[in-house]
Structure 1
Amino acid sequence: MAVITISRQFGSGGDEIADRVCALLGYRRFDKRLLEQAAAESGLSAQEVIDYSEDNYRVKGFFERLFNRPVPVATVSVWREDASGTRSAESIVLDDAAALGLVQKAVRAACEAGNMVIVGRGGQMILKDHPEVLHVRIEAPMEDRIQRVKEHLKHEQKAYRADITLRREAQDLIVTRDYASADYIRQYYKVDWADPLLYHIVLNTGLLGIEEAAQVIARLVEIREKQPA
């Protein structure tokens, strides 16, 4: 199996499952290093790489949609070389389309490298027709997700917060992040993020748990690898 893509609801345990699958199969997880490689090939400075994924996607406003205005993602440095071979840095504004193209290029390069787990970034659509890619969707009941995100917030903030405050913050974060992820896929790939027909398998961590879900994915990969081409 060349690549596993994992689409996940926020707080469903998808990232933990991805790490566990990598450990079970000896795969690598798609990371910023691969984006830096794609950036270098495009003339961008590695220090200026933008990981334009669902996790940091900004939902477009009404007027941006109405007038189809490109969204500035960041100002980045591009190396230019003149006729004498002298290199100089030029600042340009990287819009959403350019940043998306960079991520797509890196994802396709990761697929060629093989033995990779790609979390988010529209991998299920970028590689949708690739025969050696397994597409996985991770979901969980809202209450399970709230509890998981609450624990993460407690650890991250390292300060006492009232349970009701943490719960409200966790629920708001889940709704915001899920909406952004759904909008990202709808905006750029014109499909419903949660459509089960986009995936080989949909796993509910409310019933399976992290370890069992990871074992299911690893076992499915092993079965598919044994099948004749």
Structure 2
Amino acid sequence: MRVVTISATYGTAGSQIGPAVAERLGVPFVDRAIPSAVAEELGCTLEEALAHDDRAEHGLGRLFSGAMRLPTVTFGGVDMYVPGAMPLAPEEFVRHTERLLKEMARDQGGVFLGRAGAVVLAGHPGALHVRLDAPLRRRVHQTATLGSMSEREARDIIEDNDRARTAYVRHFYRVDPSDPCLYHMVLDSTTIPIPACVELIVMAAEARG
């Protein structure tokens, strides 16, 4: 079964490329199912799980990237005192997320977006690890164009997401997610058209398998 992990900086179309690759390879696209499965397994709410997820709008990475300095942090519009805001230990959530990723990769294969997949599944036989990245100015332009917003707004969104996701990976795995040594392929999907990126990843995954 094919296994592909995709680490995507904001503005590089990871949420478009991932599902397309999964469809071509005939395996599940695994993204939003992770926090739902962890919530069910741990007996917590989906909101609690999302507060710990690296791809969620108010995920844990944002605490590590700066909000820990504040006495309160906002989750879903509700102000909460940080030490008591998360009864679910972050390490416990990450441990369960890792186990689910490994089980899914072993049992059904899949294209896994985010959540330090290249690190968690580094030892999985035949897995392909991909990084989608591009210079900030091109990601800003692409995000502004696709999202019908100003480039200033796009830059703020990108920089916030970059800080949060990098903080999550560095905190739990002590690696820099931009390190090319973690990946078999690094693609600039702001200059290489999305269909071509999909084709390249599919070809590489089939060759790895």
Q: TM-score range by the shorter chain?
A: 0.7 to 0.9
TM-score, normalised via structure 2 length: 0.80
5+ long unaligned stretches in structure 2: 70-81
CA contact 1:53–1:122 (8 Å) conserved in 2: no
Counterpart of 1:222, as a letter, is E
Gap change, CA 1:71 and 1:195, over 3 Å in 2: farther
> Is it true that 1:25 corresponds to 2:9 in the alignment?
no
4+ runs deviating over 4 angstroms: 45-49, 61-64, 70-74
> Is it true that 1:109 corresponds to 2:93 in the alignment?
no
* C-alpha distance in structure 1 between counterparts of 2:153 and 2:90, whole Å: 28
Q: 1:130 aligns with which of 109, 124, 146?
A: 124
Q: Which residue of 2 aligns with 1:144?
A: 138
Gap change, CA 1:206 and 1:41, over 3 Å in 2: closer
Q: 2:112 aligns with which of 90, 115, 118?
A: 118
Cα deviation for residue 25 of structure 1 reads: 1.4
Identity of aligned residues (%): 29
RMSD between superposed Cα atoms in Å: 2.4
Counterpart of 2:53, as a letter, is S
* C-alpha distance in structure 1 between counterparts of 2:191 and 2:208, whole Å: 24
TM-score, normalised via structure 1 length: 0.73
CA contact 1:73–1:95 (8 Å) conserved in 2: no
CA contact 1:13–1:205 (8 Å) conserved in 2: yes
Cα deviation for residue 58 of structure 1 reads: 1.9
Structure ranking higher in strand proportion: 1
* C-alpha distance in structure 2 between counterparts of 1:106 and 1:49, whole Å: 17
CA contact 2:127–2:205 (8 Å) conserved in 1: no
Cα deviation for residue 39 of structure 1 reads: 4.2
CA contact 2:48–2:88 (8 Å) conserved in 1: no
In our comparison, the structure showing a higher alpha carbon Rg is 1
